[in-house]
Structure 1
Amino acid sequence: MDIETAPVAFRQFVLKMHSRCDLACDHCYVYEHADTSWQRRPMVVSEDVLERTADRIAEHARAHGLETVHVVLHGGEPLLAGRTRLRAAAVALNRALDGVCALDLRIHTNGVTLNESLLDLFHQFDIHVGISLDGDKTANDLHRRYADGRSSYARVIRAVELLNQPRHRRLFAGLLCTIDVRNDPAAVYDALAALHPPRVDFLLPHATWEEPPLRPEGSETPYADWLMRVHSRWDGEGRPFPVRFFDSVHSTLAGGGSLTESLGLAPADLLVVETDGTLEQADSLKTAYDGAPATGYDVFRHSLDEAAEHPGLISRQLGLAGLARECRACPVVRSCGGGLYAHRYRTEADGTAGFDHPSVYCQDLFSVIHRIKEGIGMNGADADGPLLPEALLDELATGHGGAAAVTALRDAQLEVNRQLLDRLVDRVPELDVSDAWQLTTRLDREAPGALDQALLHPYLRPWAVRVLRAAEGGRTDEAASDALAGVAELAAGAAVSAGIDATLEVPLRDHGVLRLPGLGLLRLGGEAAPTATVTVDKQGFTVESGPVWHRVERPAPGPAPTDAEGRWEPRPQWTLAASGDALPWTVALEDRDPERALDCWQAAEPGDARDTAGWGEALQAAWELVCRELPGYAEGLRQGLTAVTPLRPSPDGRAVSAAARDAFGVVGAALPPAPEQLALLLVHEFQHVKLGAVFDLHDLFDRQDPRRYRAPWRPDLRPFEGLFQGAYAHIAVVEFWRARHRSLSDEGRTEQAEHAWEQFTTWLGHTHEAILVMAGSGTLTPSGERFVAAMRATVEPWVREAGSRSAADAVARRSGG
């Protein structure tokens, strides 16, 4: 398997300041679990270790181009290191990282010795403070006591009260609470909430299959039950502060990343520096066995990139491929991520031990994620829409996909776009009270077919994603303007298509251009005002903008209005006759829509009537060829590909084509000289469109896999999704050249047929090799394994076919034939 794994870039560092603690918490993973390395380490970190650590972090950040590194001063109890040594750590880190990257510096403490003097130091170096607190006094005293049994609760509360003073509040990072299911979850939550924390992190107590967690009788999932009672209270109060565990579940269920290493599939990027300068894996591994976190590296002799090559760290970069098989088959694996790595440790009956197991909290994690998912109405693979029926997914996996399969993909994309509009309304409050939104809701009642057609416009999703990014990035004015204009254009266009009586103010594009998505452009000229009043009736529509007035009549039959004055430029559209048993294909040329200039496309300038006619003729000829020679692709293409956007031709004459991940229903292409080439471009690019829509519905692979894979058709290494997309699209390329070889041979065009055979065998070899790499990658989910197996089953008969001919050719050469 040809896979390259780049060294991980560490972005998070735990720097041990002191290896002892002033409390004797009986659930502490450092002192109360399997690892005993703390006994052999210096109590306080030396200044040499601090300086060398800072230099190593800066070296690493510079090499990897990091924008920010996160460092947590930890222990033991880091405050025991004293003010002078804490200051030395801050000075060393700020010195080394000055001009290299930003530093997010924090300290995690039990808080019992926190005072004003230390907080003054933390203000000087912008050190944010996290406090460990397990709830109310009863809950906290269950574990967090002094060695003589005294309660630490009062001193911890005093520390939190200090941090809550106005002048210190900005340093308060949050509270960390270790769960004990014997504590009342409501009382714990209320006690923490009363302290007005900026964030709370609930942690499952560290445990393994060898040392399992406490499980009181009466429930198979006591930790899920406990967390869900807290979630219910937190959610019911309007989520008054972030909770890292719950926010991570919500984020991953919506397709985003996790906020904690204990959930999700993101590669681990954390490294620990002990008081003697040794480099270790996550502290939680101390739970597993003595020496479990050790790497054998230290800051004096080794770079951080060397440490990144440690097998234990690499195994935590593999995402889905690094999980046990039963985890990879789990429907919540994208959120759970197999749980915390340390919690997977288990010894088998034959004495072997390791982490290739589900978490000891597996049932609890499944339960809490599933219950949160049900509570927010996510019943598919993710938030985007329903799953495809298994039979249709299997059909698409062959490389083909008929009308039913592609219709299911199209319907799912419609739901995605509806959800995007709903999110826009949430993010842009002005939209909810706008006339455009009111017309949209009216269309949904009175003309749902016309609205659905407008919502399926290929460029709606890229536009909505762009606006949402602006809104979520704080560019609220830009987002509001773009959202109001886009929804007005959509509503006006749908009203024109439906022929319903409506009047709406629509913002104009640059140079007085009214855009009606899916219909065309009306050019009103420089005299027009910034907006236009669009009045729609059954016969057409009227536009008034400043002194400009224009009427566009709707002819019968035909969906597109026409215009005698030349201001109205309807979108060119054809219904192309088919050969054989195939049905006609209706396809448009999106050569004028301003939204067609996607990030990855170089759209051609609008053509004249001659260019448009040339496209119509070429599309007709290409469609006939697809129907005749590639019938397995014809119905899906007819059902799902509604538009083609002309792209700029390549200066060197190479074929140019493209598909965009978020633009279902359209492909881009420069018009090639021969219909055969256009047919190939269409089926090839529509494969990308189909697979992108499948990826919206099904997790076929680990989306967090950071590895790069060799694609035989490219010189550079590709992410797994790129390899997957390429292999799937090239199945159509292989079948195209196989069909062309057969047709050209039947026509007696021997030279052209041999060229087609060479193309067939070349692309077959590339595609088969890529499929084999995918099958052995370990990053596929069970659904992905089934999908790739079907791809393999499609191409391997062709491999045997090519091999048989090669063998026959070799025999003929040996015999002098």
Structure 2
Amino acid sequence: MTTRIPLPLTQFVIKMHSRCDLACDHCYVYEHADSSWRSRPKVVGDEILAKAAERIGEHAATHRLPVVRVVLHGGEPLLAGPERLRRAVTTLRSALPPGCVLDARIHTNGVLLSRAFCDLFAETGVKVGISLDGDKAANDRHRRFADGRSSHPQVLRAVALLREPAYRHLYAGLLCTVDVENDPVAVYGALAALEPPAVDFLLPHATWDEPPKRPAALGGTPYADWLLAVHRLWETGGRPFAVRTFESVHRTRRGLSSLTESLGLEPSDLAVLETDGTFEQADSLKTAYDGAPATGLNVFEHSLDDLARHPGIAARQSGLAGLAAQCRACPVVRSCGGGLYAHRYRSDDEGGGFDHPSVYCGDLMTLINGISAHGAPAAVPAQSGEPVLPTALTPPQLDELARGYGGADTVRALTRSQLALTRAMLAAAWDASGQSRGEAWSLLAALDTAAPAAVDAVLAHPYARAWAARRLAGDLGTDLGPLAALAAAAAVRAGRGDSVAVPVRDGWLHLPTLGRIALPAGEAVVTGTAEGLTVRAADGTVRTVLDEPLRSVRLAGGWTVRLEDVDPLRDSHDHPVSGRLTDAELLDWTGALREAWELLGRDLPGYADGVRAGLGTVTPLRPGPAGRDVSSAARQAFGAVAIARPATAPTLALLLAHEFQHVKLGAVLDVLDLFDRGDATLYLAPWRPDPRPLEGLFQGTYAHLAVTEYWGTRALAYDGLPGEAADRARREFALWRRYTAEAVERLAGSGSLTAAGSRFADGMRETVTPWLAVPLPAAAERAADRARRERAAT
């Protein structure tokens, strides 16, 4: 065993009951290779639950986890009965350290779900997911009782319960196992009619030893064709519910994290506790061979750190390096990730094991390319200097942004326009250099055709266009080396064997989105290989490993944020950046970001989805003067904010939201004129002593919409409660709602807003006005008056 813990475990499946009241013939627990369920207790014991809670609590405390996700599973977990389920949730929650939240869910076939169970789940805060394969014909193909009876009526009754107003908040979504002999249109229609918040479409578990069925009449990639038919309906219908598979393809093509273990290169952080107290790996491994998920560890003798060190767990956390050579060389590997680990298993040759492509390899490639083609942004050819920006904002999206918000789809539209702008700026900066198309530019152009996802992932890096912005602004002292570094990073991501020479600066070869290597001065030749990268330095030495890789923090819901502490172009902010974070500093940032993200989701839910969709990078800054928080958003660095880590996670949450408002508005200003850019008047912002240009007033007002809502939400949460924290929330809310409302009116009265700008002013007014009507104690209002008078005096 290794001694390093690659990643803390944050998701746990606890088997409450090892048997089931249905006899589904595609079930991986009872119908596939593993038969360990036969020897296990039917119900998990109280002593096992208590010890599991203790282990999870100590793991959460050690790794400063802000949230732990537990799925109560089976078999059929409802067979364990309401009292045992209640004990499980209360025991788990009470064992967690302060500041750590339990996200509890139960996954059930729905047959036994009743009002009594729903009342229990409402009381204990447990969300409910239901297995349902579509309409009656589709569901009856596999999900039946042992005597052959249909389970469909009982499942519909269960979903109807969850859709009632009293229980709607418990409704987590539906899980549908794909059968290509079912009609995808009928399946989609049946599921959509149930108004689920989310649907997971799962490929049936299969291996190279036991491949999935492929009816000859359905062609060579029937699973991709089936899912693409569903995808078209989902897109046409306006994406009425979340589908992690589809969303993960869009995210990974932009270099973001996947939302599901079955796609992407994100490391797995999941473990399973069986009814006998043994720890296992992911349940899907039961489809490979008898005993495949076993670890030899149990809850009484081993900690979760022990489990995290297990080679089987580590194998699912090794990213690109853990894939077969064929996968590493594939152009869609960053989206596919080799598929689900269990689906790679093969035993009939000398290379038996999991070092193979997925048994669904062809389907996954067709699916990813099909989804990418459908949702592909308007592209700017790499050799064109003409900026062609997609006008991707629909009127409803523009109104959403005007009110200060912007959900995932709206922010993704901004992301597409920013990627197009980056391409155009790079081309214009190259053309302005007066040089002919060189090696780096030619390679980028070639990769843009052969491996566009690799180029997109690199160009979506927030600092990819910082070089171009500086050259176009007249700073010709910046050489062409950063463009070569972008080409090299794209070559490594593509893994086709392409090479390019990159200058070494100040002892480092930097590869954007990847990291850096310490090398002697001169030029190094970087080759992107199927195994990763090969670097030949000027002195002839060869390196294959980054000295300082770019590090990431995985947050709740599968969102990954990169901590950018190596890119030399990250100094695009108004404050000095920090150096490379130490391990201790990285741990502090990790805990703070995880807690801040949980607070954002709680206190600013209208902003959180947009932040997750568009914010991929946090650049650490040096600390400011004592008692002063420092943060920044750079106009030419979409997708990044820079922050000096504050003392508390709530402050970090506020700074993230505040700065991302600037990021969003900057992207809007790149495609829309909100004001007359010829207006040279300076305007007073209520919160600043110095007058600002109109864009500065616009940016500040827009950012403070989030500040107002943040303090307003906290003030309401503290309603009627005493204490300094409550008093401060009320004081800040009283102050910022007035400041923001006053600034909106100053903007609206400037006489320089365009029609779109007036639309924004109206939207901002619509957001801030209701906050003005919230009653506050007289002491809070007096404190706000004093602060305003003191600011006016300066």
The alignment's TM-score, normalised by the length of structure 1, stands at 0.54
Cα deviations by residue, 1:516-537 (Å, 9 ceiling, x for unpaired): x9xxxxxxxxxxxxxxxxxxxx
Cα separation, partners in 2 of 1:769 and 1:16, compared to 1, 3 Å: farther
Partner of 2:283: 283
Aligned-partner SS, 2:543: helix
1:99 equivalent in alignment to 2:98: yes
Amino acid across the alignment from 2:232: S
Contact 1:58 1:100 in 2 (8 A): no
1:249 is displaced (CA, Å) by 1.8
Contact 1:713–1:766, Cα closer than 8 Å, also in 2: no
Give the aligned partner of residue 247 of structure 2: 247
The letter of the residue matching 1:48 is E
> Aligned partners of 1:279 and 1:719: how far apart in 2?
41
Q: Which amino acid aligns with 1:311?
A: P
Give the residue type in structure 2 aligned to 1:56: R
- CA distances 1:554-598 after superposition (whole Å, capped 9, x unpaired): xxxxxxxxxxxxxxxxxxxxxxxxxxxxx9979xxxxxxxxxxxx
2 CA distance for matches of 1:635 and 1:226? 40
CA RMSD of aligned residues (A): 4.6
Secondary structure class of the residue paired with 1:296:
strand
User: Partner of 2:485 in structure 1?
Assistant: 691
Greater shift after overlay, 226-235 or 147-156?
226-235
Render the CA deviation track for 1:364-422: whole Å, top value 9, x for unaligned: 111111111222236xxxx8765x6xxxxxxxxxxxxxxxxxxx5x959x56xx35x85
- How far, CA to CA, are the matches of 1:584 and 1:339 in structure 2? 44
Alignment partners' CA distance in 2, 1:142 and 1:174: 21
- Higher mean C-alpha displacement, 93-102 vs 302-311: 93-102
- What residue number does 1:269 align with? 269
| Distance in 2 between residues matched to 1:286 and 1:473, nearest whole Å | 35
Equivalent residue, structure 2, for 1:161: 160
Residue aligned with 1:33, SS: coil
- C-alpha change, 1:304 and 1:217, in structure 2 (3 Å) is same
SS at the partner of 2:215? coil
Q: Conserved in 2, the CA contact under 8 Å of 1:664 and 1:693?
A: no
1:734 corresponds to: 522
- 2:344 aligned with 1:344: yes
CA deviation vs aligned residue, 1:707-733 (integer Å, no higher than 9, x gap): xxxx9979xxx9986775445xx56x3
Partners of 1:224 and 1:368 within 8 A in 2: yes
Report how far residue 665 of structure 1 moved.
Answer: 2.5
1:145 equivalenced with 2:144 (yes/no): yes
Quote the residue 1:664 is aligned against: 467
What CA distance in whole angstroms lies between the structure 2 residues aligned with 1:251 and 1:584?
Answer: 33
**CA–CA distance in 2 between the matches of 1:84 and 1:766?**
69
Corresponding position of 1:45: 44
Q: Is contact 1:8-1:305 (8 Å) kept?
A: no
Is the partner of 1:346 in helix, strand or coil?
A: coil
For the residues of structure 2 that align with 1:319 and 1:156, how far apart are their CA atoms?
38
Task: Extract unaligned runs of 5+ from structure 2.
Answer: 426-430, 442-461, 497-504, 525-534, 552-794
1:332 and 1:366 in contact (8 A); partners too = yes
Does the CA-based 8 Å contact 1:14-1:71 persist in structure 2? Answer: yes
Aligned-partner Cα distance in 2 for 1:151–1:194: 20
Structure 1's 294 and 766: CA in aligned 2 closer, same or farther, altered over 3 A?
A: farther
- CA shift, 1:768, in A, is 6.4
Q: What secondary structure sits across from 1:664 in the alignment?
A: helix
How far, CA to CA, are the matches of 1:635 and 1:301 in structure 2? 56
- For residues 323 and 506 of structure 2, what CA distance do their matches in structure 1 show? 28
Secondary structure of residue in 2 paired with 1:372: helix
How many angstroms apart in 2 are the aligned matches of 1:632 and 1:375?
31
Code of the aligned partner of 1:55: E
- Structure 1 or 2, whichever has the larger Rg, is 1
Alignment of 1:72-87 (within 5 A): 72-87=71-86
- State how far apart, in whole Å, the 2-side matches of 1:767 and 1:473 are: 48
Deviations, residues 40-92 of structure 1 (Å, cap 9, x unaligned): 11111111111111121121122222221111000000001111110111011
| CA displacement at 1:773 relative to structure 2 | 2.8
Query: Where do 1:75-224 residues align within 5 Å?
Result: 75-218=74-217, 219-224=219-224
Matches for 1:667-678 after TM superposition, within 5 Å: none
Contact 2:174-2:200 at 8 Å conserved across structures: yes
Change (3 A) 1:721 1:474: closer
d(CA) in 2 for partners of 1:632, 1:199:
48
Q: What secondary structure does 1:257 align onto? A: coil
Change beyond 3 A, Cα 1:336–1:475: closer
CA contact (8 A) 1:272 1:281 kept: yes
Q: Quick one: distance in 1 between partners of 2:495 and 2:305?
A: 27
Q: Hey, what does 2:543 align to over in structure 1?
A: 771
Counterpart check, 1:322 vs 2:322: yes
Change in Cα spacing, 1:92 to 1:431, as seen in structure 2 (3 Å) is: closer
The letter for the 1-side match of 2:543 is: I
Cα deviation, 1:781-802, whole Å, max 9, x if unaligned, reads: xxxxxxxxxxxxxxxxxxxxxx
Q: CA 1:55 to 1:191, structure 2 compared with 1: closer, same or farther past 3 Å?
A: same
3-state secondary structure, aligned to 1:210: coil
Q: Deviations over 1:727-782 (max 9, x none)?
A: 5xx56x3359xxxxxxxxxxxxxxxxxxxxxxxxxx9989866724359x9x9xxx
User: Structure 2: how far apart are the matches of 1:281 and 1:374?
Assistant: 35
Work out whether residues 12 and 273 of structure 2, in 8 Å CA contact, stay in contact via their aligned partners in 1: yes
How many Å apart are 1:344 and its aligned residue?
0.6
In 2 relative to 1, CA 660–176 (structure 1 residues): closer, same or farther, beyond 3 Å?
Answer: closer
Provide the identity percentage.
52
Distance 1:56 1:767, change over 3 A: farther
Q: Which amino acid aligns with 1:190?
A: G
Instruction: Judge conservation of contact 1:660–1:667 (CA < 8 Å) in 2.
Output: no
Q: Which secondary structure does the structure 2 equivalent of 1:271 belong to?
A: strand
CA distance in 2, matches of 1:237, 1:474: 14
Structure 2 counterpart of 1:18, one-letter code: H
Q: Label 1:227 to 1:471 Cα distance change in 2 as closer, same or farther (>3 A).
A: closer
Q: Kindly provide the amino acid, as one letter, of the partner of residue 665 in structure 1.
A: A
Matched residues, number: 500
Contact 1:688 1:725 in 2 (8 A): no
Match of 2:304 in 1: 304
Q: What is the letter of the counterpart of residue 321 of structure 1?
A: A
Asked if residue 26 in structure 1 is aligned to residue 28 in structure 2, the reply is no
- Per-residue deviation, residues 399-452 of structure 1 (Å, max 9, x unmatched): xxxxxxxxx5x959x56xx35x856998544889xxxxxxxxxxxxxxxxxxxx
Deviation track 1:491-521 (CA, whole Å, cap 9, x = no partner) reads xxxxxxxxxxxxxxxxxxxxxxxxxx9xxxx
1:189–1:347: structure 2 CA closer, same or farther, 3 Å change rule? same
TM-fit CA distance, 1:251: 2.1
Shift, 1:664, TM fit: 2.6
Change (3 A) 1:121 1:700: same
Secondary structure, in 3 states, of the residue corresponding to 1:699? helix
The structural deviation recorded for 1:339 is 0.8
- CA distance in 1: counterparts of 2:4 and 2:539, whole angstroms: 22
Whether the 8 Å contact between 1:26 and 1:32 is mirrored in structure 2 is yes
The AA in structure 1 aligned to 2:283 is: D
Cα 1:98–1:309 shift into 2, 3 Å: closer
Equivalent pair of 1:13/1:270 in contact (CA under 8 Å): yes
